[in-house]
Amino acid sequence: MSPQIPLPHLHSGKVRDVYDAGDDRLLMVTSDRISAFDVVMAELIANKGRVLTAMTAFWFEQFADLVEGHLISTDTTDLGDVLAGAAASDDGVLADLAGRTMLCHRAEMLPIECIVRGYITGSAWKEYRSSGTMHGTPMPDDLLEASPLPEPVFTPSTKADEGHDVNISYSEAVDLVGTEVAETARNASIACYLRGAEWAAERGIVIADTKFEFGMVDGRLVLADEVLTPDSSRFWSAEAWVPGATPPSFDKQPVRDHLDGLDWDKQPPPPPLPDEVVSATSSRYVEAYERITGRSFADWPGVGA
Q: Which domain-ending residue is among 232, 253, 274?
A: 253
| Residue from 46, 27, 93, 77 nearest 286 by CA | 46
Cβ neighbours of residue 138 closer than 8 Å, sequence gap 6 or more? 132
Residues 98, 115, single domain; the answer is: no
Residues 24, 65, single domain; the answer is: yes
Residues 134, 99, single domain; the answer is: no
Per-residue confidence (pLDDT) for residue 248, from 0 to 100: 87
| Residue from 98, 24, 150 nearest 302 by CA | 98
Q: Is residue 142 part of a domain?
A: yes
Q: Is residue 56 part of a domain?
A: yes
Is 292 within 8 Å of 199 (Cβ atoms)? yes
Per-residue confidence (pLDDT) for residue 1, from 0 to 100: 44
Q: Element (H or E) spanning 133, and its range?
A: strand 133-134
Q: Where are the alpha helices (DSSP H) in 119-252?
A: 122-131, 170-177, 179-201
Per-residue confidence (pLDDT) for residue 6, from 0 to 100: 82
Residues 228, 113, single domain; the answer is: yes
| Residue from 166, 164, 170 nearest 37 by CA | 164
Q: Is residue 265 part of a domain?
A: no
pTM of this prediction exceeds 0.85? yes
Pairing of strands 148-154, 205-217: unpaired
Handedness of CA 272, 28, 205, 46 (dihedral sign): negative
Residues 249, 113, single domain; the answer is: yes
Q: Is residue 295 part of a domain?
A: no
Domain boundaries, position 231: 108-253
Residues 137, 236, single domain; the answer is: yes
CATH number assigned to the domain comprising residue 22? 3.30.200.20
CATH number assigned to the domain comprising residue 146? 3.30.470.20
Residues 52, 2, single domain; the answer is: yes
Q: What is the DSSP string of 53-71?
A: HHHHHHHHHHTTTTS-B-E
Question: Tens-digit pLDDT profile for the chain (305 aa)?
Answer: 456 788 999 999 999 999 999 999 999 999 999 999 889 999 999 999 999 999 999 999 999 999 999 999 999 888 877 876 555 455 677 788 999 999 999 999 999 999 999 999 988 999 999 999 998 889 999 999 999 999 999 999 998 766 578 889 999 999 999 999 999 999 999 999 999 999 999 999 999 999 999 999 999 999 999 999 999 999 999 999 999 998 988 888 899 889 999 999 999 999 999 999 999 999 999 999 999 999 999 999 999 75
d(CA 247, CA 214): 29
Handedness of CA 59, 60, 62, 66 (dihedral sign): positive
Rama region for 259: left / alpha / beta (φ>0; ψ in -120 to 50; rest) = alpha
Any idea how long the chain is? 305
d(CA 129, CA 304): 46
Task: Please tell me the total count of domains within the chain.
Answer: 2
Q: Which domain-ending residue is among 106, 137, 159?
A: 106
| Residue from 184, 194, 177, 212 nearest 70 by CA | 212
Residues 135, 245, single domain; the answer is: yes
Q: Which domain-ending residue is among 67, 88, 106?
A: 106
Residues 40, 73, single domain; the answer is: yes
Is 14 within 8 Å of 30 (Cβ atoms)? no
Per-residue confidence (pLDDT) for residue 83, from 0 to 100: 78
Q: Is residue 172 part of a domain?
A: yes
Q: Is residue 287 part of a domain?
A: no
Q: Is residue 300 part of a domain?
A: no
Residues 118, 243, single domain; the answer is: yes
Rama region for 109: left / alpha / beta (φ>0; ψ in -120 to 50; rest) = beta
Residues 30, 45, single domain; the answer is: yes
Residues 203, 119, single domain; the answer is: yes
Q: Is residue 240 part of a domain?
A: yes
| Residue from 169, 215, 221, 225 nearest 56 by CA | 225
